Amino acid sequence: MISERELAKEIVLLDIVESVKGKTLDIECSSPTMQFSCNLEGCCEYEKIENSDIVIITAGFPRKPGMSREDLLEKNKKVIEGVCDNIKKYAPDSILIVVTNPLDVMAYLTLKRTGFPRERVIGMAGVLDSARLRNFIAKELDVNPKNVQGLVLGSHGDSMVPLPEYTTVSGIPITMLMENEKIERIIERTRNCGAEIVNYLKTGSAYYSPASSILEMVEAIVKDSKSVLPASVYLNGEYGYNDIFLGVPIKLGRKGVEKIIEIKLNEKAKELLDKSAEMTRKNIDKLK
């Protein structure tokens, strides 16, 4: 997707298994028909990421049916520590987009392990969760998904916090277009969408929607578009939280997180966000 949009002149796909070279060659051979031009390289050596501007971290074990994102905590901790040490060595000036689960905790670990400024470590969660919410609303109302704007805050997991009051169809609040019962049903499916996909796939987790969400973030950075979108970022007093990663609205540009946007939350939403933060805090404590 990044190559098709021609957002980079050079793209490196790095993995611990050699099959990444086959995947890269396969993508490369689509360049004439998809009409893109960039240098793609698949490799197993960290030296190849030297001086990268953006590093997307998807390394780690995926969920299996019946597993929560938190079940991956110990396994993926070791993976991310090794990844971070190599990023710090070869791409010390890069902006990091963390996708590995449990996302908010792995983003926290990435920040602490690399020592990068908080503006340059961003967790990809809110864009994906919001996209899922918007998709289900569009299906329910039989409208173009492009006309639906939605906002999901909190941790990337069962405690995520969709905000109906900030979710609209061409500016019309969904609370004016749907009964509360339908809204709650859509919110519940949004929370469980990742698990629903895992249960169907059996041996992996979501691919395409996370990829498109990563793409949106990369494009905002590369084009310095100052896009306002939800992402998991390090909070230091914002929303009343400290020393934690949590999904909130941000302004994203060439330098990474340019601003954390604090919006007014009603009592119920703040209560849910507090619970979400508490769950993430517990997992961070386990990490420590």
> pLDDT tens digits, residue range 73-117?
888 999 999 999 999 999 999 999 999 999 999 999 999 999 999
Domain boundaries, the chain: 1-44, 126-230+240-287
Cα–Cα distances (Å) from 81 to 66, 76, 99, 207, 287, in that order, read 26, 8, 14, 23, 12
* Planar angle of CA 137, 257, 244, nearest 5 degrees: 80
Strand 152-153 with 161-162, pairing: antiparallel
Rounded Cα distance between 99 and 212, Å, is 12
- Residues with catalytic function: 156
> pLDDT tens digits, residue range 4-54?
999 999 999 999 999 999 999 999 999 999 999 999 999 999 999 999 999
Rounded Cα distance between 275 and 159, Å, is 7
Rounded Cα distance between 241 and 195, Å, is 28
Cα–Cα distances (Å) from 202 to 42, 62, 66, 76, in that order, read 27, 11, 10, 19
> pLDDT tens digits, residue range 242-261?
999 999 999 999 999 999 99
Q: Quickly count: other Cβ atoms within 10 Å of residue 85's Cβ.
A: 13
Look up tokens 């420590």; give the residue. Answer: 288
Q: Which residues contact 32 (CB under 8 A, 6 or more apart)?
A: none
Rounded Cα distance between 99 and 105, Å, is 11
Q: What is the pLDDT of residue 71?
A: 80
**Domain with residues 126-230+240-287, CATH architecture:** Alpha-Beta Complex (3.90)
